[in-house]
């Protein structure tokens, strides 16, 4: 018996079965994790897009340790110094000239964006938000309703109303979804869970133009794309299209739970005293970790590394697509990469894990790679070797 199996059995006996973990991870270092049996893996999931700066990053560890010894929580009845510094930094980085609201997760940051949009529209009787099929915005009732995918809505009726779904990368479909009740359009710059589909340049610009024309708020969900993953600090910067609001979470605080809603001047003061809140929002330990993440990301120019390594990974995968009939397409942006397969992607994800490489599925037929952005070329070469071996095991030797 493996220790992995023992721990998984304990887990399954005590934790509600919303997940089905295949291994139990003991620790992480850089771009690798080690399971309870002592087996080491390249982690091309980054804990689902979290560890952009690598596991056990000394600067992040130190920030967390230092702040934990100073104070771990103040409540928002008092000014919290690290939160204030982080807000100032996010506002400066975004160049949107606005303000920040802090939450504890991606869903909560999006929930805040949805509430803010409704408050903004309430004077004119507008509340509807256009979201996208194959999008993903979280698991609270409102964010599930915002998520245009049946699999995560099933069994949860009645869902909050006020969402209309349009087709991604299809401006005509967006126009058709807009009514006189519409107040906002909410989208990912690269759809992550839905299948690693980047927005086209034309689409991002078109959404911005529609929002300008109809006084709608453009909300970009950067929970997965943010903090350098797609080649710019925030993915919308890569398009040169400024949203009215965007949300961050996954990679923001280097492994600690934190979400943020960043808005421009137009929305900066829509929330008023007591109109929205979060007890833990802006937690000082998470805020110090986030400041360390940002400093490390900027100092090491991780967005540029994401772009360069992403190109190498996508080229290597494209070569495999050319070899194997069962591989259909490579798509993505930076180190957010999807390999579209003909069939169930889980088969390949399992084979990759057997080889020592952790990857994710997305959108029903996509193997998704979200490696730490500190990835070195030698790590990538090892990983590509593992991908070659896994493909051979699953699909046989290519012609």
Ligand X SMILES: *Cc1c(COP(=O)(O)O)cnc(C)c1O
Q: Which residues make up the interface to ligand X (CB under 6 A)? A: 105-107, 110, 136-138, 188, 192-193, 221, 223-224, 249-250
Element (H, E) at 63: helix 58-70
From the candidates 101, 136, 234, 296, which is the catalytic residue? 136
Q: Is the peptide bond before 291 cis (omega within 30 degrees of 0)?
A: no
Active site residue 3: no
Alpha helices, DSSP H, located in 15-57:
46-49
| Residue 212 beta carbon to ligand X: minimum distance, rounded to whole angstroms | 24
Positive/negative CA dihedral, 223, 224, 230, 233: positive
| Residue 248 beta carbon to ligand X: minimum distance, rounded to whole angstroms | 10
From the candidates 35, 43, 221, 244, which is the catalytic residue? 221
Q: How far apart are CA 219 and CA 217, in angstroms?
A: 6
| Residue-wise burial string across 188-221, b where 16 or more C-beta atoms lie within 10 A, e elsewhere | bbbbbbbbbbbbeeebbebbbebbeeeebbbbbb
| Residue 250 beta carbon to ligand X: minimum distance, rounded to whole angstroms | 6
From the candidates 99, 250, 320, 333, which is the catalytic residue? 250
**8 Å CB contact between 340 and 366:** yes
Nearer to ligand X, 99 or 368 (CB): 368
Nearer to ligand X, 245 or 316 (CB): 245
Nearest to residue 111, comparing CAs of 236, 282, 94, 119? Answer: 119
Nearest to residue 190, comparing CAs of 118, 148, 238? Answer: 238
Which residue's Cβ has the minimum distance to ligand X?
106
| Residue 21 beta carbon to ligand X: minimum distance, rounded to whole angstroms | 16
Active site residue 250: yes
**8 Å CB contact between 324 and 391:** yes
| Residue 147 beta carbon to ligand X: minimum distance, rounded to whole angstroms | 8
Q: How far apart are CA 51 and CA 292, in angstroms?
A: 12
Length of the chain: 399
Vertex 60, ends 55 and 63: CA angle to 5°?
150
Nearer to ligand X, 221 or 307 (CB): 221
Nearer to ligand X, 83 or 188 (CB): 188
Nearer to ligand X, 90 or 107 (CB): 107
Q: How far apart are CA 89 and CA 86, in angstroms?
A: 5
| Residue 234 beta carbon to ligand X: minimum distance, rounded to whole angstroms | 13
Nearer to ligand X, 106 or 243 (CB): 106
Vertex 385, ends 398 and 312: CA angle to 5°?
100
Strands 99-103 and 40-43: unpaired
Nearer to ligand X, 138 or 148 (CB): 138
| Residue 41 beta carbon to ligand X: minimum distance, rounded to whole angstroms | 21
Residue 45, C-beta contacts closer than 8 angstroms, at least 6 positions apart? 358, 359, 360, 370
Active site residue 350: no
Catalytic site positions: 136, 221, 250
């Amino acid at each position: 018996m493996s220790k992995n199996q023992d721990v998984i059995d304990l887990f399954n006996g005590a934790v509600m079965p919303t997940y089905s973990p295949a291994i139990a991870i003991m620790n992480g270092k850089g771009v690798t994790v080690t399971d309870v049996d002592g087996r080491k893996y390249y982690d091309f999931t980054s804990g689902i897009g979290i560890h952009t700066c690598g596991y056990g990053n000394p600067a992040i560890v130190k920030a967390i340790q230092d702040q934990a010894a100073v104070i771990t929580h103040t409540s928002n009845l008092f000014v919290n110094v690290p939160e204030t510094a982080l807000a100032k930094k996010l506002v400066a980085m975004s160049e949107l000239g606005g303000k920040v609201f802090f939450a504890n997760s991606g869903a909560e940051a999006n929930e805040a964006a949805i509430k803010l949009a409704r408050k903004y529209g309430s004077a004119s009787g507008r509340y509807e938000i256009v979201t996208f099929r194959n999008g993903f915005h979280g698991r609270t009732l409102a964010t599930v309703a915002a998520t245009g995918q049946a699999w995560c809505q099933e069994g949860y009726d009645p869902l909050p109303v006020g969402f209309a779904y349009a087709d991604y990368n299809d401006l005509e479909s967006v126009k058709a979804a807009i009514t006189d009740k519409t107040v906002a359009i909410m989208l990912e710059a690269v759809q992550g869970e839905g299948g690693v589909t980047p927005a086209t340049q034309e689409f991002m610009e078109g959404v911005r133009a529609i929002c300008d024309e109809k006084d709608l708020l453009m909300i970009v969900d950067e929970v997965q794309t943010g903090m350098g993953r797609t080649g710019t600090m925030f993915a919308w910067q890569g398009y040169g299209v400024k949203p009215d609001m965007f949300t961050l979470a996954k990679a923001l605080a280097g492994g600690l739970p934190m979400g943020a809603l960043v808005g421009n001047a137009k929305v900066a003061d829509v929330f008023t005293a007591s109109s929205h809140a979060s007890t833990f929002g802006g937690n000082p330990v998470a805020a110090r970790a986030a400041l360390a993440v940002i400093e490390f990301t900027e100092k090491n120019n991780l967005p540029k590394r994401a772009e360069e390594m992403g190109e190498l990974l996508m080229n290597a995968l494209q070569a495999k697509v050319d070899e194997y009939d069962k591989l259909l397409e490579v798509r993505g942006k930076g180190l957010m990469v999807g390999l579209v397969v003909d069939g169930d992607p889980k088969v390949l994800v399992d084979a990759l894990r057997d080889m020592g490489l952790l990857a994710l599925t997305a959108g029903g037929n996509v193997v998704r790679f979200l490696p730490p952005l500190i990835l070195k070329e030698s790590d990538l070469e090892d990983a590509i070797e593992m991908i070659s071996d896994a493909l051979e095991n699953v699909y046989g030797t290519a012609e």
